[in-house]
């Protein structure tokens, strides 16, 4: 499991020019490795699993060097832009799966709203709010193992109307999909489908037994066959080892995922993982940096748990990631949008690709 790292307390010495340094020059050389790796990536190379693990294992003293190197990769691919996403929980609870982290699963006692797929009017209201909040992508999420025919038809009907009225990109998160369902979503105008891997292949059975890691991979493959972009990430802080986090990052790279939402476990009362939180803000930043190194050109989004775990270090997360959700998550609240806008402005970044808001 991740845990706060001890700081380096090596003695210092003063060189003839009066500069305080660590006694060993090797420490400085090691610090330069992050920039060397970034340069290698920008030249078309890649890091391997052992190097990715080194990033997660790096010390607090090395954190700013790691972030600076990851920021070079971010700037190359995304400049100073931030892409905003808005999430609508279009169907809540009522899920037959046993995902340990989820407040909507059949094994959760969390007191959450439970309802079937929202009406056309409510989905349009959500789209309007997404546009007003300067989002470019509207995420329509339904709980459940897989969509039924009524739910697929509802998405097919509403997506063209949303795109015509607001110019929003649509990301649909509907559970497991077969090839036919993915093709229907593509024909309706859906731009990308979200289906998170959530963790590594080896650790998956520790958090869910009603479907497998391979089931999720198959859905992503069906989505790719339909010509849609892939949105897939995971959750950090569920008791996994650092090696599991690395494996998840490399699985996403192998699938060539365009958009990666990285969540930090918000341990919700009533779920099997309640009171399991142990991440520090520095742990979260190291994980974000590792994902940027492994998936340099993918959109990297700081997702659920951002406010709870990064806390005052949220701006440092955007030195590495280039996207956030604005507003609330599925069953937990986010911070007020104005705080996000102010953070982006204070960093000297700009929101890009906003939708249009009808007068």
Model pLDDT, residue 111: 74
Q: What six digits make up the tokens of 41?
A: 């990536």
- List the single range of 11-25, 69-83, 302-316, 337-351 with lowest mean pLDDT: 11-25
- Backbone dihedral angles phi then psi of residue 33, each to the nearest 5 degrees: -65, -35
Residue 152's pLDDT band (cuts 50, 70, 90)? very high
Higher pLDDT, 100 or 312: 312
Residue 8's pLDDT band (cuts 50, 70, 90)? very low
Residue pLDDT, tens place only, 89-132:
998 777 888 888 887 776 677 777 788 899 999 999 999 999 99
> Does residue 323 carry a pLDDT above 80?
yes
Report the share of the chain in percent with pLDDT over 70: 87
The HSE-up count of residue 193 (CA atoms within 13 Å, CB side) is: 33
| Domain-embedded: residue 318 | yes
- List the single range of 240-249, 330-339, 342-351 with lowest mean pLDDT: 330-339
> Does residue 171 carry a pLDDT above 70?
yes
| Domain-embedded: residue 14 | no
Q: Would you name the residues annotated as active-site residues?
A: 95, 99, 102, 139, 171, 231, 301
Structural domain harbouring 95: 78-351
- DSSP bridge partners of 325: 85
Average pLDDT for the chain: 88
Say how far apart CA 194 and CA 128 lie, in whole Å.
21
Number of domains in the chain: 1
Residue pLDDT, tens place only, 218-239:
999 999 999 999 999 999 999 9
**The domain that contains 288 carries what CATH number?**
3.20.20.70
Model pLDDT, residue 30: 55
Say how far apart CA 317 and CA 336 lie, in whole Å.
18
| Domain-embedded: residue 70 | no
Q: What six digits make up the tokens of 161?
A: 């109307």
- List the single range of 111-125, 140-154, 309-323 with lowest mean pLDDT: 111-125
| Domain-embedded: residue 11 | no
Q: What six digits make up the tokens of 111?
A: 């007191």
Residues 6+ positions from 186 with CB-CB distance below 8 Å: 226, 227, 228
| Domain-embedded: residue 212 | yes
Q: What six digits make up the tokens of 202?
A: 């080896």
| Domain-embedded: residue 9 | no
| Domain-embedded: residue 198 | yes
| Domain-embedded: residue 184 | yes
- Residues 48-66, mean pLDDT to the nearest whole number: 97
The HSE-up count of residue 25 (CA atoms within 13 Å, CB side) is: 2
Instruction: From 78, 40, 93, 43, select the one nearest 298 (Cα to Cα).
Output: 78
Model pLDDT, residue 355: 56
CA distances from residue 122 to 88, 106, 171 in whole angstroms, order as listed: 10, 25, 17
Model pLDDT, residue 16: 34
């Amino acid at each position: 499991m991740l845990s706060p790292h001890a700081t380096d307390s090596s003695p210092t010495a003063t060189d003839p020019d009066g500069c305080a340094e660590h006694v060993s020059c090797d420490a400085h050389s090691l610090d330069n490795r992050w920039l060397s790796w970034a340069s290698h990536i920008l030249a078309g190379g890649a890091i391997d699993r052992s190097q990715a693990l080194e990033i997660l294992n790096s010390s607090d003293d090395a954190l700013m060097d790691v972030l600076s190197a990851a920021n070079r990769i971010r700037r190359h691919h995304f400049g100073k832009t931030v892409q905003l996403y808005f999430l609508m929980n279009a169907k809540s609870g009522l899920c037959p799966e046993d995902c340990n982290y989820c407040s909507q699963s059949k094994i959760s006692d969390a007191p959450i709203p439970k309802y079937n797929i929202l009406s056309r009017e409510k989905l349009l209201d959500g789209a309007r709010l997404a546009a007003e909040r300067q989002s470019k992508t509207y995420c329509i999420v339904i709980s459940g193992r897989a969509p039924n025919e009524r739910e697929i038809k509802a998405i097919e009907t509403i997506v063209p109307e949303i795109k015509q009225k607001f110019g929003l990109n649509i990301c649909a998160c509907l559970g497991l999909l077969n090839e036919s369902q993915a093709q229907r979503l593509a024909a309706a105008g859906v731009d990308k489908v979200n289906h998170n891997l959530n963790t590594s292949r080896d650790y998956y059975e520790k958090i869910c037994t009603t479907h497998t890691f391979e089931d999720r991979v198959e859905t992503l493959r069906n989505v790719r066959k339909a010509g849609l972009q892939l949105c897939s990430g995971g959750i950090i802080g569920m008791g996994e080892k650092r090696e599991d986090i690395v494996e998840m990052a490399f699985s996403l790279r192998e699938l060539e995922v365009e958009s990666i939402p990285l969540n930090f476990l918000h341990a919700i009362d009533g779920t099997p993982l309640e009171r399991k939180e142990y991440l520090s803000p520095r742990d979260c930043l190291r994980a974000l940096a590792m994902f940027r190194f492994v998936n340099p050109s993918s959109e990297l989004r700081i997702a659920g748990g951002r406010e709870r775990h990064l806390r005052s270090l949220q701006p440092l997360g955007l030195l590495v990631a280039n996207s956030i959700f604005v507003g609330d998550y599925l069953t937990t609240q986010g911070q007020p949008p104005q705080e996000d806008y102010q953070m982006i402005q204070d960093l000297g970044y700009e929101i890009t690709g906003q939708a249009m808001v009808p007068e």
